[in-house]
Amino acid sequence: MTTGEKMDNESGVNAHWLSLPNILTYGRILAVPLVVLCFFLEGKLQSSDFARWSALAIFIIASVTDFFDGYLARIWKQTSQIGRMLDPIADKLLVATCLLLLAADTEKTIAGWSLWAAIIILCREILVSGLREYLAELKVSVPVTWIAKWKTTVQMVAIGFLLAGPAGDKILPYTTEIGITLLWIAAIITLYTGYDYFRAGLKHVIE
């Protein structure tokens, strides 16, 4: 029995809700309104570069915590129910918010046909979330595949390039175009992984 479990038994309170892994998850959720604030300031400031770079910095820090919260929770044996619940929620909130902001910003970073890539990614996130919730009631776990992890990596890198957008184009030409290309790659992988998850879930539904 771990120290945390002893504290749980003695106090009846989840001893890990303020552990470092959970704090990192809370920070990732807090990053969502901060990114929104940066885009709000972009329309108010004469130069939008500062807002773009600020949003990118916040997004990178939040993305890094996505790795460390799970890693630290495992090696320190500080996994908790609230962490398991909030971790995927924080990821989806961050990704969905960034995609919506990029589609609605004054620069129209994501526009035209590229909107379909964002729509595919968002629909997949909703589908998988609903599927996981349903299968959880059946006591069936859906493991994350290696290709799904690659999808997440490509998706995060794409959003990073797109957040830099016009500000990044001044330093690295075609920054926005690179981001759009990576977003489409992520969307294509998303279609495959979404189908893979749906097929696995459908098998349990039929059974």
Q: How confident is the model at residue 48 (pLDDT cuts 50, 70, 90)?
A: confident
According to the model, what pLDDT value does residue 5 have?
42
The pTM assigned to this predicted structure is: 0.83
Q: Per the structure block, which two tokens stand in for 193?
A: 């992984």
Split into its structural domains, the chain has a count of 2
Q: Which amino acid is at 151?
A: K
Tell me, yes or no, whether 102 lies in a domain.
Answer: no
Domain boundary among 91, 120, 154: 91
Burial class (CB in 10 A: 0-12, 13-18, 19+), 133: exposed
Give yes or no for a contact between 25 and 67, defined as CB atoms under 8 angstroms apart.
Answer: no
Neighbours of 76 (CB within 10 A): 14
Answer yes or no: do 141 and 169 share one domain: yes
The whole domain housing 47 covers 1-91
Q: Per the structure block, which two tokens stand in for 115?
A: 């909107």
Give yes or no for a contact between 65 and 80, defined as CB atoms under 8 angstroms apart.
Answer: no
Reported as a single tens digit per residue, the pLDDT across 2-22 is 444 444 443 334 446 777 888
Tell me, yes or no, whether 59 lies in a domain.
Answer: yes
Answer yes or no: do 190 and 162 share one domain: yes
Residue 207, pLDDT above cutoff 80: no
Question: What's the Rg (C-alpha) of the chain?
Answer: 19
**In this structure, what are the phi and psi dihedrals at residue 106, rounded to the nearest 5 degrees?**
-65, -25
> Where would I find the beta strands (DSSP E) of 22-94?
none
Answer yes or no: do 12 and 59 share one domain: yes
Average pLDDT of the segment spanning 35-43? 84
Answer yes or no: do 111 and 207 share one domain: yes
Tell me, yes or no, whether 96 lies in a domain.
Answer: no
According to the model, what pLDDT value does residue 194 have?
82
Q: Which residue has the higher pLDDT, 194 or 142?
A: 194
Going by C-alpha positions, the residue among 54, 122, 117 that lies closest to residue 91 is: 122
Give yes or no for a contact between 63 and 158, defined as CB atoms under 8 angstroms apart.
Answer: no
Domain boundary among 91, 122, 156: 91
Give yes or no for a contact between 195 and 126, defined as CB atoms under 8 angstroms apart.
Answer: no
Between CA 53 and CA 164 the distance in angstroms is: 6
Neighbours of 179 (CB within 10 A): 24
Tell me, yes or no, whether 31 lies in a domain.
Answer: yes
Tell me, yes or no, whether 164 lies in a domain.
Answer: yes
Sign, CA torsion 95/97/100/101: negative
Answer yes or no: do 85 and 114 share one domain: no
Reported as a single tens digit per residue, the pLDDT across 72-120 is 777 877 777 777 788 888 889 999 999 999 998 877 899 999 999 999 9
Q: How confident is the model at residue 46 (pLDDT cuts 50, 70, 90)?
A: low
